[in-house]
Amino acid sequence: MVWLTPLLIGLGSVSLVCLPARADAAESRAENPEVEKLLADAIALRAANKDLEALQALKKAAEIDPESVRVQVHLATVYQALGEWLLADDYLRLALAHENHPYVVRHRKSLDDAGRVISANIGRLEVEGQPAGAEVRLNGRLVGTLPLAAPARATVGSYSLEVRLDGHYTVRRPIVITGNSLIRESVRLEPQPDESRAALASATQGDAHGDPTLDRPAERPWLTWTLGGLSVAAGVTTISALVYREVHANNWNDNSQCLSVDQTREELCGAERDKVESAESVAVVAGVATGLFAAGALLNVFVFSAGQSPEQAPPGQAALEGCTLGLMGASCFGSF
């Protein structure tokens, strides 16, 4: 929902929204008439919950007058509404840099409140190590080279950190970025032997169709053991449930215990039937889990032991590099 008010208010608990054009009458300089029209159009589009269309209008306004504080603030509001936290932070910082601007002074509290919401969705990553010039990537996206001039910003979430340099072994590790945080990582790339460098260069030569930013996870033997252990545990549970069911099914069918002239079998042994039904449910669920966990463990072993990487495949030939398997699904990668 979008509210039109003279002040900036929060998205969620605090967010930025469109401001009426008349609130800017006291600006230090008049806006370009075309910019004024684009801002008015953007306000109307946001009121109609058309944030993407409003974004296009504001981008045009920024091309005409990139120094307009009003345009910067409205761009921050739209990017925040769209969940583009880094861009929202960029434009809000540009606007707040004009701390003495009448528009900023008038709405300073709302701007600061919105800044706190944006910051809660952004963290920073500081990577230290050697050698200089090594690329630092998050999920395949290049964020800088060692030594980083400043911590890299990233939205809250899980990432694969990759640091690589020709002639050195690549370092990959999982990291989690949290809001308003600074994550520190230290890496040191070890040089490859000369023969390893030559083999790597030969394997990768001519692979022009590959994606250089693809983030490829390392093998996960721990996942195989985990899934295998879960499969065994689920299998034991299945067998136990079946044995339990059989015992109470025999009790339910025992006429000496559950048959009487004055009472029905249900009245005498209803608890036994309930136990049979409960055991059946447990056996079914545990049996399905056993199969899934076992299949996951076998798939993980097969892919990582038998899968051919793109570097090993002849140029132009499709190759599966590997798969990662989670409890709810699997993902595979390679070149095709």
Q: In which residue ranges of the chain is pLDDT below 50? A: 1-28, 206-218, 306-321, 324-328, 330, 335-336
- 63 HSE (CA, 13 A, CB side): 8
How far apart (Å, rounded) are the C-alpha atoms in residues 286 and 282? 6
* Nearest by Cα to 31 from 103, 109, 110: 103
Dump pLDDT digits (tens) for 10-67: 333 334 444 443 444 444 456 789 999 999 999 999 999 999 999 999 999 999 999 9
**What pLDDT score was predicted for residue 217?**
46
Please answer whether residues 145 and 122 qualify as being in contact, where contact means their C-beta atoms are separated by less than 8 angstroms. Answer: no
How far apart (Å, rounded) are the C-alpha atoms in residues 62 and 79? 14
Please answer whether residues 110 and 135 qualify as being in contact, where contact means their C-beta atoms are separated by less than 8 angstroms. Answer: no
What does pTM read for this prediction? 0.49
Q: Where are the alpha helices (DSSP H) in the chain?
A: 33-47, 51-64, 69-81, 85-96, 102-106, 108-119, 194-204, 221-253, 255-258, 265-306
**What pLDDT score was predicted for residue 26?**
41
* Nearest by Cα to 75 from 156, 157, 19: 19
Please answer whether residues 2 and 11 qualify as being in contact, where contact means their C-beta atoms are separated by less than 8 angstroms. Answer: no
**What pLDDT score was predicted for residue 316?**
47
**What pLDDT score was predicted for residue 135?**
96
Residue with tokens 């249900």: 266
**Phi–psi pair at 41, nearest 5 degrees:** -60, -40
The answer to whether the Cα torsion of 81, 84, 87, 90 is positive or negative is positive
Rounded to 10 degrees, the C-alpha dihedral 72/78/81/82 comes to: -120
Instruction: With H, G, I as helix, E, B as strand and everything else as coil, classify residue 285.
Output: helix
How far apart (Å, rounded) are the C-alpha atoms in residues 219 and 191? 21
**What pLDDT score was predicted for residue 304?**
55
Mean pLDDT of the chain: 78
Vertex 8 angle, CA 109 and 30, to 5°: 100
